[in-house]
Every structure is written in structure tokens, then in C-alpha cells.
Homo-oligomer: A and B are copies of this chain.
Amino acid sequence: MNEHTVKAFDEDITRLRGLIAEMGGLAELSIQESLEAMIKGDAALAKGVVKRDKKIDALESEVDKLAVRIIALRAPMADDLREVIAALKIAGVVERIGDYSKNIAKRVKEVEERKHFEPLTLLPAMGEIAAEMVHDVLTAYASRDPILAREVIATDEKVDAFYNSIFRNVVSYMVENPATISSAAQLLFVARNIERIGDHATNVAEMVHFAATGNYPPDEDG
């Protein structure tokens, strides 16, 4: 590439990274707001989360188009091409993270009688960790930081432990309060959605680690 092409490519990549940062910021906000809506039974807030998901989808589609245009116009090679493909994949994962929050928001109306509904109190701490993972992994992406990426991967264990604990708690609650089973089942799905958000943040962290070091971090899952 000549100097002009290099500069144009760098500008394109910066724009691509900016779009992904924007997607990540929206996805993080949606995690927090979907859980707040769930806990308070706030239908308007839930509606806002569903609406925001369309914006996240539109940003992913912008990333796709820009990536295709970069490849077509600049014909990047080796590391540069890998960077564009990584952006495409990361945008896809962030879009999925957005879907989980939308899914939580859509369940808000399925939960009845929030007062004294103990299982709800278990969700915020788990949601906070997942939102922090999403925040940190996008910071790691922006700063090409493999150490932070590995910290995100390590944090996923906490989210999994939370999920297992919430699952057991909710099931016990169901046994003791059969009248609330339908609402409590919704909370099982909510906890599962948060757990999946953690998994996807971990996936992004693995991609960031790979992009920064050329290696995937050791797989703890076997």
C-alpha cells in the first residue's frame, strides 16, 4: 500500500472500531436497564431496551457494510485483513449480547407480583458482573490489551457460579411457592441470559487475545 492508502485504511479501521465501541456502550446500558426493568416491573424502560436493540442491529449492519467496503477498496493483506475480519466477528457477538438483554426486557411483562418475590433480589449482582465483563472486553479491544482480555475470561467463572446458585435458589423457591412457578421460570431464563452474556464476552476476549498475541488463551473448558 502507498502512504495515501495506508492513511485511508487507518481511518477506515478507526471508524470500524468506533462503531464497535458504540455498539458495546449500548449493549452494556441495555444489560443494566433490562435488569432494572425486570426488578421494578418498569414496562417503559423495557420498551426502551427493545427499541435500543434495533439501533445495535443497525450498527452491526453498518460494521458489515464498512468492512466489506474496506476489503473491496483497500484489499488489505495479512494482519490488516485479519483485523477487519475480527471486527466483523466481534460486531456479530456484541449484537448477540444485545439480543439477550432484549430477551430479558421482553420477559418483564411475564413476571407477576414483584413484591416479596425473593428470587428477583439475586439478579442485580450477577447482571453487574456481566455488564462489567462487556465493558472490560471492549476496553481490551480498544487498547489491544491481552492481559485485560484474560481477566475477562477469568471473571466468567464468577458469572457461572452465580448462575448455578440462582438456579438452585429459584428451584427451591418454586417448590415452596408453587403459585409463583410461572414467574419464577422466567427468572431462570433471565439468569441463563446473563450467563450467556458472560459466555459471549468471553468469546470476544478470546478474539481480542488472539488478535493481540497470535494465540488463543489456554482453554479451561477442556
Contact = CB atoms under 8 A, between A and B. Distances in A.
Interface of A: 64, 67-68, 71-72, 75, 77-78, 81-82, 85, 88-89, 92, 167, 171, 174-175, 178, 181-182, 185, 188-189, 192
Contact of A78 (B72, B81, B82, B181): B72
B175 A181 contact: yes
6 contacts: A64-B85, A68-B82, A92-B92, A167-B185, A171-B181, A185-B185
A192 B78 CA distance: 40
The 6 closest A-B CB pairs, nearest first, are A175-B178, A174-B181, A171-B182, A75-B75, A171-B181, A175-B181
Contacts of A181: 171, 174-175, 181
The count of identical subunits is 2
A75 B73 CA distance: 10
Contacts of A189: 188, 192
Contacts of A175: 178, 181
Contacts of A185: 167, 171, 174, 185, 188
For the residues of A in contact with B, the DSSP-based class is helix
Contacts of A71: 71, 81
Contacts of A188: 185, 188-189
A61 to B, nearest CB: 10
A81 B85 CA distance: 13
A196 B5 CA distance: 43
Given A88-B88, A92-B92, A171-B185, A72 B68 contact: no
A85 to B, nearest CB: 6
B68 A85 contact: yes
Contacts of A92: 89, 92
Nearest to A189: B192
